[in-house]
Amino acid sequence: MKMHRRTVLKGLGGLSLSLPFLEGLRSAKEATAGEALVQPFAIFMRQANGVASAQSTDVGDEPERFWPSSEGLLSPQSVAGRTLEELDGYLNDVLAVGVDAAPFDYGDGHARGVLQGLTAMGPTVIGSGGEADAAGESIDNRIGRELNPDGRESLFLYAGLNAGWMGGACQSYRAAGDRRAPLHNPVNAYALVTGIDGESLSDMLVERRQSVNDLVREQMAALMANPRLSANDLDRLELHRSAIRDLEGTLSCMLTADEEAALDGAAAGYESTDGDQVLAAVRAHIDVAVLSVACGYTRSVSIQIGNGNDGTTRYRNLDTGEAMENYHYISHRRESHGADGAIIPDSDLLHSMVDRQFAQTFRYLMERLANYPLPQGRLLDAGVAVWHNDQSQGPSHSSLNLPYILGGSANEYFRTGQYVRADGVGTHCQLLNMIGTAAGLRNASGGDLDDFGDPSLPKDPLPQLLA
Amino acid sequence: MAKRDKYAIGPALVLALGVSTGCYTGIQELNGGVASGGEGGADDGGDDDGEGPDGLGPEEELPVPTTRFFRLTHVQWENTVQDLFDLDEPSGLSADFRADAREGGFLFDNNATSLEVDEALWSGYQRAAVDMAEIAASDPSILEFIAPDTGDETTRAAEFIRNFGRRAFRRPLTDAEATQYVELFNRGPELYEETTGFAAGVRLVLEAILQSPNFLYRSETSEEIVDGVIPLNSWEVASRISYFLLDTMPDDELLDLAEAGELEDPDRVQEQARRLLENPRAHMVVQKFHHTLLEVEKFQQTAPSPAFYPDAPENLGDLAVQEHDLFLAHTVFDNDGSWGDLLTSTETYVNADLAAIYGLSGDFGDEFTRVDLDPNERRGLFTQIGFLVANATSVHPDPIHRGAYLARHIACHSIAAPPDTVPPVPEGDPDATNRETVIAHTEAPGTECLGCHKPLINPFGFPYENYDSTGAFRTEDNGQTVDASATVALASGAVEVSNAVDLAEAMATDEQVHQCYLEHWTEYTMGRPYDDLDEALVDRLATASVEDASVKELLVEFATSRPFLTRSTEEMQ
């Protein structure tokens, strides 16, 4: 059996991964003076189970460990002792928002959170709990569908055990009930973005691909020519046909062999239950995500971490270095996926440790974007990174005051450097419309996006978030 | 479509059990609380009056409109590639395919309308095709298998394309297709640096065929209507039956029969179904089906508390999976057993660790051996260790999850999701039994929980209070005698049981439980959700199953039924 190059290279991780410099991009994109080199984009990174914010539960009162001490300007002082201090050094680029989602009846707080998170929609079937699906398209998919070159789908990436509650990956939807499948292994995501896998780019390779693709397209067309086909059959075949990509003669967005090896090493734990390995894989996904938006492969990427309740990942105790109980238990404050089970001592502190590791991972995303220089500004300034959570808090499973931490102003669309509590049912939907606008989506009249999400929810911009 | 609501409890049973209608996604009244055959269904089990002249079984059993393009599941892709190239073991290349998205409410991995090829999967297919083509073109034994040396390279290439294409597409290539692949073959030598000559042509053709939609989809293009249905042609039958029973491409015998048009004869299909069930791959299919239905993957996530169960083996979950697999294969294939046997058998397989949990005396080692368990304590799948430990907390049995699973997946009751926020279990009487604690938590008057838990969930779970978190039998809980009695909602009415042995016997003779099992098989077999049109077939097979038809015989009946061998004249909506 032939070994893939990526397999051979596995285990060589630990190298620092530097992404391609813009010079390569410049030649590929042929940017002209004054023209944006990189189109606006959005990268989403999802956390489950809420955060360790102030609350009273049946196991006692818990102090604020996440949000800044006051609304308004973010400063080292306002985030001191709070999770968001992990973003110190980038606070001017951060917009921390607490938004309220709609109380849709999903029959389960986790389903309501993760399925509504990027859709702002209710369920296809009311009260179906762990078997629920969202009743509409997610914003990451819409950005890709409308803005990506050739209608290419956005990237949907996943890290953690792809099973369990909600069936694993579940936050990205093409349409009502049409859940997208994620790329799990970051190495495969990289291969998708570059179009090749361990092969040397050559005229022969390009021609081989072209010859095969031409024949396959012809066969697809023959199948689709049957006038009796159902809409579902036609839709699926069309999705298949549109997925067939030819290989460009030049690729500017490839990593070097050492960089690929580093990616490979970091990616290895993509289906682990060990939190350190999962978050390493997330960082590898982030490397691919940043590469893909920098190279114009896609205008949006969503990265889901853990299944519906992230019920299998065991993150690290920052004090002891040991693996903690699974995250879902910690968020419940009990040794249980339900409401029974023994109380976990200091579980709010443990939850905060999980929050901090997510904050560190989001910081990594911001750093990768910031380290991409553009002729004017940084890649970080050209789009928006979004660290979002399904719930505000674990025990209550509340959809009020959901943490949406934004990094980057999207060309000065967002007013960064502040903390805003945007209360009122539907502010979550308003924020998703704003993120869509920031990434480049427009309504039918060419104005700001205002038609995304459940029709009953508000969609106008939140003025306090605008630059 | 969800499973039929006929299994929702009828009016009499609603009153008897105190079921809240809020517990269901829908309730349809039944005649006397007993499941009926339904309009147009086979109501007398065995009456051949409705048998069509075409040998396809009762005429009221009709095909459901379905897709014409069944994308191979990843398992099917892997098996098919292994067989195409006669590999000793799977290539492993499908491991890099992105996993398919789960579809809410559908248990299995083969719902055809949701099996899509997006860019991520296309990329995976492309890489796998490139890798497999390189492997095949550089391995003389594989090359000789797929393209035997006939001396003349032109003839050899043409025969390779015809023969390999027929096997990969599961039908003969058209002349136009063959011509296109010959042209591609001829370009091979100029498009590779490291592969030359004949092998280069083979390599390029393999890359193309393995990316072809005619390989990636099992297509059904028949359109001729005969007696109100569209009979599948022989090639389509060969693929349906092979992917159903073996999860792989048709073998040479099936392809030859297809070429001769003989699989349009249901008797030949029946012969082939019986032959295929002797193939070891059929064991894997039956195992995969039951792994999904019985949530066997949960077995491995079990972790009894070392403080409470210091003798429990660390790998209890893995051992439970082995026990399950051996029991299943023995019952279905060695004993030609039935669903009733799976529910009530006292046989199982144990090693020393499991023997200790079962309280068996004797000489046991690491190897698993067949044993007979105490019939007063153990009956079938749900008193075996896997189900019991997978549905237990680390300390206590979990009658809620045990009961909810059985009510939903074995009796096919529709049960709504629990409330959004379940309050914590109250600090209760320290002397209370586990059952008493659960009742206090779920059956308090006036609560939202009561409607589902008291009549449905808890009665299916309490009979298993005799088994602790390791699956060991117990007669006492917290110093009190275990109460494992319950009144269980089955098609035959409100059935009083004393324990899990009683419940196993009751389920094994209950038509609803057999219909439920056949509905799951229908979804798996047809690759789509259950539909009302399936009722006639399911009822006929369920009647046979209650009468102890073997699982293998049920699969043969599926494979020779009208819904399996024909298409609807309507296209899927």
Interval B324-382: pLDDT, tens: 999 999 999 999 999 999 999 999 999 999 999 999 999 999 999 999 999 999 999 99
Residue in B with minimal Cα distance to A168:
B102
Which residue in chain A is spatially nearest to B103 when comparing CA positions? Answer: A179
In angstroms, the separation between the Cα of residue A107 and the nearest Cα of chain B is 5
The token pair that represents B275 in the structure block: 């032959």
A273 touches chain B (CB under 8 A): no
- Chain B residues lying within 8 Å of A197, measured CB to CB: 127, 130
Report how far residue B339's alpha carbon sits from residue B347's, in angstroms, rounded to the nearest whole number: 14
> In angstroms, rounded to a whole number, what is the distance separating the alpha carbons of residues B441 and B426?
7
- Confidence at residue A44, expressed as pLDDT on a 0 to 100 scale: 98
Residues of B in contact with A237 (CB under 8 A): 69, 213
Q: Given an 8 Å threshold on Cβ–Cβ distance, is B96 in contact with A1?
A: no
Distance, CA of A326 to CA of A296 (rounded, Å): 37
Q: Looking at the partner chain, which of A109, A125, A243 has a beta carbon nearest the beta carbon of B118?
A: A243
Least confident stretch, A31-35, A83-87, A303-307, B442-446: A31-35
Binary contact (A211, B121; C-beta < 8 A): no
Chain-chain contact of B417 with A128 (C-beta, under 8 angstroms) = yes
Question: Which chain B residue is nearest to residue A396, measuring alpha carbons?
Answer: B421
Amino acid residing at B191: L
User: Among candidates A146, A41, A28, which has minimal Cα distance to A378?
Assistant: A41
The residues with which B473 forms a beta bridge, in sequence order, are: B467
Query: Average pLDDT of B66-82?
Result: 98
Tell if the CB–CB gap between A226 and B99 is shorter than 8 Å: no
Candidate from A58, A185, A197 with C-beta closest to B424: A58
CA pair distance A427, B327, nearest whole angstrom: 55
- pLDDT given at position B420: 60
For residue B144, the Cα-to-chain-centroid distance in whole angstroms is 37
B267/B271 Cα distance (integer angstroms): 6
A201 touches chain B (CB under 8 A): no
Nearest chain A residue (CA) to B133: A2
Q: Is the pLDDT of residue A255 over 90?
A: no
CB A437 within 8 A of CB A449: yes
Please judge whether A109 and B420 are an interchain contact, meaning their C-beta atoms are less than 8 angstroms apart: yes
Query: Percentage of chain B surpassing pLDDT 90?
Result: 79
Pairing of strands A42-47, A384-389: parallel
> B470, B452, B306: which is closest to B388 by C-alpha?
B470
Q: How far apart are CA A73 and CA A267, in angstroms?
A: 37
**Cβ(A73)–Cβ(A418) under 8 Å?**
yes
Instruction: Write down the pLDDT at residue B49.
Output: 53
DSSP 8-state assignment for residue B477: E
For A179, name the nearest residue in chain B, comparing CA atoms only.
B101
Give the whole-angstrom CA distance, residue B261 versus residue B255.
10
Chain A residues close to B572, C-beta within 8 Å: 230, 232-233
In degrees to the nearest 10, what's the CA dihedral of A81, A86, A91, A94? -110
Q: Interface pTM (ipTM) of the complex?
A: 0.89
A258: nearest Cα among A20, A25, A17, A11? A17
Q: Is residue B111 within 8 Å of B528, Cβ to Cβ?
A: yes
Q: A178 to chain B: which residues are within 8 Å by CB?
A: 114
Provide the pLDDT confidence category of residue A24 given band limits of 50, 70 and 90: very low
Specify whether the CB–CB gap between A182 and A172 falls below 8 A: yes
**Within 10 Å of residue B450's Cβ, how many Cβ atoms?**
17
CA-CA distance, B206 to B479, in Å (whole number)? 69
pLDDT at A229: 94
Residue-wise burial string across A95-120, b where 16 or more C-beta atoms lie within 10 A, e elsewhere:
bbbbbbbbebbbbbbbbbbbbbbbbb
End-to-end CA distance of chain B: 12
Which residue in A58, A57, A56, A80 sits closest to A67, CA to CA?
Answer: A80
Report the DSSP beta bridge partners of residue A175: A178
Predicted pLDDT at A199: 65
Question: According to the model, what pLDDT value does residue A252 have?
Answer: 59
The contacts of residue A258 (CB under 8 Å, 6+ apart) are: A15
Give the residue among B359, B369, B383, B300 at the shortest CA–CA distance from B330.
B369
Q: Looking at CA atoms only, how far is residue A181 from chain B in angstroms?
A: 4
User: How many Å lie between the alpha carbon of B527 and the closest alpha carbon of chain A?
Assistant: 14
What is the rounded average pLDDT of the residues A179-191? 93
**What are the distances in angstroms from CA A388 to CA A87, A97, A109, B463, B489?**
15, 10, 16, 44, 44
Alpha-carbon A375 to chain mean position = 26
For range B311-316, the mean pLDDT: 94
Indicate the residue of B123, B207, B297 with minimum beta-carbon distance to A191.
Answer: B123
Q: Which residue has the tokens 């709010």?
A: A348
Contact in structure between B388 and B467 (CB atoms under 8 Å): yes
Q: List the single range of A70-79, B82-91, B98-107, B517-526 with lowest mean pLDDT.
A: B98-107
Please report which confidence band the pLDDT of residue A7 belongs to, taking 50, 70 and 90 as the band edges. Answer: very low
Low-confidence winner among A22-26, A269-273, B115-119 (lowest mean pLDDT): A22-26
Please tell me which of the candidates B115, B130, B424 has its beta carbon nearest to residue A339. Answer: B424
Angle at which helices B197-210 and B119-137 cross, to 10°: 150
Closest CA to B339 of B514, B485, B488, B183: B514
For the stretch B6-23, pLDDT in tens is 444 554 554 455 555 445
Distance CA B6, CA B39 (A): 12
Contact (Cβ atoms closer than 8 angstroms) between residue B389 and residue B471: yes
- Residue B305 has what pLDDT? 87
Average pLDDT over residues A251-280: 86
Binary contact (B127, A197; C-beta < 8 A): yes
Percent of all residues in chain B with a pLDDT value above 70, rounded to a whole number: 89
Distance separating alpha carbons of residues A247 and A245, to the nearest angstrom: 6
Chains A, B: CB contacts within 8 A come to 203
Q: Using CA atoms, how far apart are residues A11 and A262, in angstroms rounded to an integer?
A: 9
Q: Cα dist. B64→A381, B22, B508 in Å? A: 54, 30, 29
Q: How confident is the model at residue A2 (pLDDT cuts 50, 70, 90)?
A: very low
CA distances from A396 to A63, A388, B134 (A): 15, 17, 55
User: What contacts B425, CB < 8 A, 6 or more positions away?
Assistant: A339, A340, B437, B441
The minimum CA-CA distance between A354 and chain B, rounded to whole Å, is 22
Question: Cβ–Cβ of A244/B127 closer than 8 Å?
Answer: no
Contact B463, B499 (CB under 8 A): yes
A residues 400-459 lying closer than 8 A (beta carbon) to B: none
What are the strands, taking DSSP E only, across B77-223? Answer: 217-219
Q: Scan residues 29-58 of A and list those with Cβ closer than 8 Å to B.
A: 58
- pLDDT at B272 exceeding the cut of 90: yes
A146 CB-contact burial (10 Å; exposed 0-12 / middle 13-18 / buried 19+): middle
Query: Is A232 within 8 Å of B111 (Cβ atoms)?
Result: no
A217 and B CB contact within 8 Å: no
pLDDT of residue B6: 45
Mean pLDDT computed over B403-423: 84
Say how far apart CA A275 and CA B47 lie, in whole Å: 61
Question: Do A390 and A312 touch, CB atoms closer than 8 A?
Answer: no
- Residue given tokens 């604690």 in the structure block: B437
pLDDT tier for residue B38 given thresholds of 50, 70 and 90: very low
The whole-number pLDDT of residue B33 equals 33
Q: B82 Cβ partners below 8 Å, 6+ apart?
A: B89, B90, B91, B248
pTM of the entire predicted model: 0.86
Tokens 């009828």 belong to which residue? B10
Judge: B420–A124 Cβ closer than 8 Å, yes or no. no
Residues of chain A with C-beta less than 8 angstroms from the C-beta of B393: 335-336, 340-341
Q: What does the alpha-carbon distance between residue A153 and residue A144 come to, in Å, rounded to a whole number?
A: 5
Write out chain A residues lying below 8 Å of B193, CB-based.
202, 204
Our CA-based measurement puts residue B94 at a distance from the nearest CA of chain A, in whole angstroms, of 12
pLDDT tens across A102-127, in order?
999 998 899 999 999 999 999 999 88
Quote the CA–CA distance of A34 and A30 in Å, as a whole number. Answer: 12
The DSSP call for residue B454 is I
**pLDDT tens by residue, A195-254:** 776 666 788 998 999 999 999 999 999 999 998 899 999 999 999 999 998 876 555 577
**Are residues A127 and B127, on separate chains, in Cβ contact within 8 Å?**
no
B453: DSSP letter: I
Which one of B101, B191, B207 has the shortest CB-CB distance to A180?
A: B101
On whether any CB of chain B is under 8 Å from the CB of A73, the answer is no
Q: Does A107 touch chain B (CB under 8 A)?
A: yes
User: Taking 60 as the threshold, does the pLDDT of residue A6 lie above it?
Assistant: no
What is residue A374's predicted lDDT score, i.e. its pLDDT? 81
pLDDT tier for residue B519 given thresholds of 50, 70 and 90: very high
b/e per residue B114-138 (b: at least 16 CB within 10 A): bbbbbbbbbbbbbbbbbbbbbbbbe
A271 touches chain B (CB under 8 A): no
pLDDT at B328: 98
CA distance B66 to B71: 13
User: A150 — contact with chain B (CB < 8 Å)?
Assistant: no
Q: Does residue A109 sit at the B interface (CB-CB below 8 Å)?
A: yes
Q: What pairing do the DSSP bridges indicate for beta strands A155-159 and A173-175?
A: unpaired
Taking CA–CA distances from B422, the nearest residue in chain A reads A339
Which candidate from A124, A218, A229 shows the least CB-CB separation from B571? A229
Question: How far apart are the CA of B45 and the nearest CA of chain A, in angstroms?
Answer: 35
Average pLDDT over residues A375-403: 94
For A176-191, what is the mean pLDDT? Answer: 94
